[in-house]
Amino acid sequence: MKNRYIVTGGAGLIGSNLVAELNANGEEDILIVDHLGSSEKWKNLVRLRYSDYIEKDEFLHLLDDGILTGITHILHMGACSSTTESDASYLIQNNYQYTKLLAEKSLQHKIRFLYASSAATYGDGSKGYDDECELTELSSLDMYAYSKHLFDLYAQKTGLLDKIVGLKYFNIFGFGEFHKGGMQSMVLKGYDQIYREKKLKLFRSDRPDYQDGEQKRDFFYVKDAAKVTLHLLFGNYYGLYNVGRGQAETWNELAESLFNAMRVSPNIQYIDMPEHLQGKYQYYTCAKVDKLASTGYMGSITSLPDAIADYVKLLEESGYIPENS
């Protein structure tokens, strides 16, 4: 049977790169679902090959009207990804109820279902970053993380996790995130700052065990994330998997790679952390990737300097110019 796909959030950062990777594998029978609104997200669709596009609200209305007929795979990337979103009801509806409905409909139609969870569900990291940990022991730092964690818990409690696969994406960055505003990666925000001002602002540390700029994250290139995602999709693996490099690197290291890629002398300015992030900021993230390794994934993982260099090259080749430049 010919594969037919639905990619929700298909105009977003991860979603559009997933469609691009499907295209690279010769797949074009893809229905993209998203909410474009008045953003620049539509530009991510231009480079893609797909059979149709539909807005999220219309898609939800058609779930019982045959729109899933013949679909073989659903990659559910659609969500509100803002960690500062304060409307809890919106997050529950968009990130929890929507995912629950789509997962259940997929199983009813015998469709392979993969969804995006988040590394934010690990909270402050005090319980580690192990995708085989006890989910009930995790505590979220913000409502976005909790809305994602809530579905992980529901899927485990109801046995759904034995039939679907959820991916805890770590700090994903790469081409296709222009529309994300304040939720853009530090790589793109940094590119804009360096382009305009020849300097980069990083948060000071307010913890004695971390020097300024020495906070660590597991930065993961979106091209690699797309390859890992399709490996887990087509390999028919089930349960929760971390998607990251398994290596934590500092903001200072990221800055150094970005300055080098842009051929600009390093100039870092440390600034106070905004009040709304205090107590909700992850000082360290690092994916435990043993479970992914056990699947036999053999794809290459791009180093942070090489990933940033490739991203900068794509930005320059696209003619991208930061606003107010």
**Beta-sheet strands, E only, within the chain:** 5-8, 30-34, 52-55, 73-76, 112-116, 165-169, 171-173, 200-203, 216-217, 219-221, 239-243, 249-250, 268-271
Is residue 180 part of the annotated active site? The answer reads: yes
Within 13 A of 158's CA, how many CA atoms are on the CB side?
Answer: 13
| Structure-token pair, residue 3 | 């594969």
Phi then psi dihedrals of residue 100, to 5 deg: -60, -45
Strand partners, 5: 30, 73
Q: Which residues contact 200 (CB under 8 A, 6 or more apart)?
A: 190, 193, 194, 255, 258, 259, 267, 268, 269
Is residue 144 part of the annotated active site? The answer reads: yes
> d(Cα 112, Cα 299) in Å, to the nearest integer?
22
Query: Which residue among 50, 98, 122, 144 is the active-site one?
Result: 144
| Structure-token pair, residue 48 | 């893609």
| Structure-token pair, residue 71 | 């679909």
Q: Running DSSP on this structure, what letter comes out for residue 92?
A: I
Query: Which residue among 180, 223, 227, 280 is the active-site one?
Result: 180
Task: For helices 98-108 and 143-158, give the axis angle rounded to 10 degrees.
Answer: 30
> d(Cα 58, Cα 51) in Å, to the nearest integer?
17
Phi then psi dihedrals of residue 148, to 5 deg: -75, -45
Nearest partner of 86 among 257, 237, 276, 267, judged by Cα: 276
> d(Cα 39, Cα 179) in Å, to the nearest integer?
6
Name the residues annotated as catalytic.
144, 180
